[in-house]
Structure 1
Amino acid sequence: MSRVGKRPVAVPSGVTATVDGQTVKMKGPKGQLQFVVHDDVEVKLENGQVKVKPRAETNRARALYGTARAQVANLVEGVTKGFEKKLEITGVGYRAAMQGKNLQLALGYSHDVIYTIPEGITITVPKPTEITVTGSDIQRVGQVAAEIRAYRPPEPYKGKGVKYVGEFIFRKEGKKK
């Protein structure tokens, strides 16, 4: 069994943390985030540390308190450093470009895909074949990156499509004559 939940989450200087019932709020240089902890988990702020523990010794509570601790740690990291996901585009004629507040993707369809960037997320296109998604909320950064990837996931024969940087694509052999 993992013991991630037993370690308290340190709140660094420059970050203000408040615990109001089951809601944990963090405010820092990169913005403000909040997370509602499950009812089976108790959360306290003591000596500049957020402590998480299960209310009862049930399997459900013990399963949830490690998750709650990890999510509180992600709040701290999000408001101090932020999170980033990088995507790369592979394929002839496949490219990305910023068009005002939208992301324009040419992915081999008869039309360009226009992706509206949600609030709290920053998307940059350093090269036409690279997309960088940044933000303070790890869940939203991952969700936006997954939505962009879903427009044209990498295919197994030539590897064309949108993939995460460092993602391994299982390749298949083509037809044999």
Structure 2
Amino acid sequence: MINEVISSSNSLKFFVEGSESSFHPDEIVAQIKALIDLPQGWDFGSGDVISSEVIRKAIEVYKLTLPYSLMCTIHPTSEGGITLVLSTKDKFLDVTIEKNLGISLTKEQGIGFDYHIIYSDRPVSYHELIQEIQTISIENCIECISSEPFTLRNTIRESEDFKVIASNHTETEYQFLNTNAH
């Protein structure tokens, strides 16, 4: 069911039944469990074996995220850990379960030219991890229900010279009224 492919970026990607990413909890748990089969040197000659304790903790951490409907991808680390990349829109939390069972967190925001790292590889407790997960989940909900005016940078603003008015016709178009046109 799960075929592993080593990408050129030295991370492992999984394809489940023909789709690159799957967000069904059972499939993500199966992907995490499949990491136990990685041999020593899986990462182009380096890459430690991932222990069953790391896998168990990664599954535990993943299950903490389920109530928040975050997208999740998994990546083994060369040091014998597992990174869960949790995301919603343009917010990302990289949760790394280390070989020694510690948890570190990297928080990123933005895509493309607007991308920036808020902090990187910060050791966190379960309590801090849950707070960060709740924070990006709440921020996502606030963006969805915000009633504040929102204008994209490249949006044309309405002025007295250019107005959109509803047509009296039963068409799906609108009449444009340019008061300066003759």
Q: Give the TM-score band, short-chain normalised.
A: under 0.3
**Rg larger in structure:** 2
Instruction: Identify which of structures 1 and 2 has the higher relative contact order when contacts are C-alpha pairs closer than 8 Å and 6+ apart.
Output: 1
- Structure richer in strand, relative to its length: 1
Q: TM-score, normalised by structure 1?
A: 0.23
